[in-house]
Amino acid sequence: MHTIWRGVYAVGRPQVTQRGTWMAAVLTCGPHAALSDLSAAVLWAIKAQRAVRASHVAAHPIDITVPPHVRRRRKGIRLHRRSLGDHDLTRRDGIPITSPARTLIDLAIRLGPEPLEAAVNEADKLGLIDPEELRQAVDDHAGLDGVPVLRQVLDRRTFQLTDSELERRFLRLVRRAGLPPPRTRQRVNGYVVDFCWPDLGLVVETDGLRYHRTPAQQARDRLRDQAHIAAGLTPLRFTHGQIAYEPESVVDTLIAVADRLRPRAA
């Protein structure tokens, strides 16, 4: 038996996986301990840009939350003494861990607004928690240190819309422009497009989720647009900012382009 931490042993050989190390860290900190903060973010696969990975990997501390009365110390473990409710705790791969919502609240203490927003978007993308559920969790945890920062990130006036929310808002602008309902999620020239009007030869894409707009994705978008132009279609692309904050400009553009395309369609 090989000691990992006091009271926790590996059987047969001293080497354990990363998940084994996390589990050992939780066990050595007592029955009510849980993986939390940056370590929980890594296990949840919330990639908060470089902030999570660099801070976590550089010093190799394992973040564990324990009840306030626990006073034990363990080398290589960073203890956080906090009270956790049952709704704050769950398991992932058998390891006691803070819930996605509580993990993001605790991350807000350490991360800046932009990497924190990236973590929220990643949690939404992975299906761990959506912004509306997170807003409710923030309200339920009023008074915690990370809540004000996370609440600011989740402000409806500035937070990046999810694709479905963005598309619903765009459809309202389509109605204001007097266009017929478009076909959605259709395959055109080998690509699935957000909206299309086959009779007009018009294709529209709505670009949301700022942290999903990588250079590689932008290059693919250019190829998509070029394929549509080569096929004789007119591609339009509207950003989240245009749809959310410049709706009149979006409506005017739709009207002008549709008026130009109607004689050709006739």
Q: Over 80: is that where the pLDDT of 67 sits?
A: yes
**Structural domain for 170, as ranges:** 163-265
**132 and 11 share one domain:** yes
What angle in degrees, to the nearest 10, is found between the helix axes of 113-125 and 100-107?
170
Q: Over 90: is that where the pLDDT of 125 sits?
A: no
Q: Over 50: is that where the pLDDT of 58 sits?
A: no
- Residues 132-158: pLDDT tens digits? 789 889 999 999 999 999 988 887 555
**99 and 142 share one domain:** yes
Averaged pLDDT, 111-131: 83
Percent of the chain with pLDDT over 70: 87
**11 and 132 share one domain:** yes
**69 and 198 share one domain:** no
The last residue of one of the domains, among 153, 183, 199, is 153
Return the structure tokens found at 92: 């992932």
Angle at 141 (CA atoms; ends 118, 147), nearest 5 degrees: 40
**116 and 185 share one domain:** no
Question: Which domain CATH number covers 209?
Answer: 3.40.960.10
pTM over 0.75: no
Q: Over 80: is that where the pLDDT of 60 sits?
A: no
User: For the ranges 40-44, 111-115, 162-166, 210-214, which has the lowest average pLDDT?
Assistant: 210-214
CA distance 143 to 214: 36
| 257: amino acid identity, one letter | V
Count: domains in the chain: 2
Predicted local distance difference test score (pLDDT) of residue 153: 83
Residue 158 lies in a domain: no
DSSP 8-state secondary structure symbol assigned to residue 192: E
**Continuous segment of H or E residues that includes residue 207:** strand 202-207
**202 and 77 share one domain:** no
Predicted local distance difference test score (pLDDT) of residue 83: 92
Return the structure tokens found at 120: 């929220």
Q: Over 60: is that where the pLDDT of 57 sits?
A: no
**19 and 124 share one domain:** yes
CA distance 133 to 188: 35
- Residues 76-107: pLDDT tens digits? 999 999 999 999 999 999 999 999 999 999 99
Residue 227 lies in a domain: yes
**Continuous segment of H or E residues that includes residue 235:** strand 234-239
Predicted local distance difference test score (pLDDT) of residue 19: 93
**226 and 187 share one domain:** yes
**30 and 103 share one domain:** yes
**173 and 96 share one domain:** no
**146 and 244 share one domain:** no
pLDDT band at 56 (very low <50, low <70, confident <90, very high): very low
The last residue of one of the domains, among 153, 188, 209, is 153
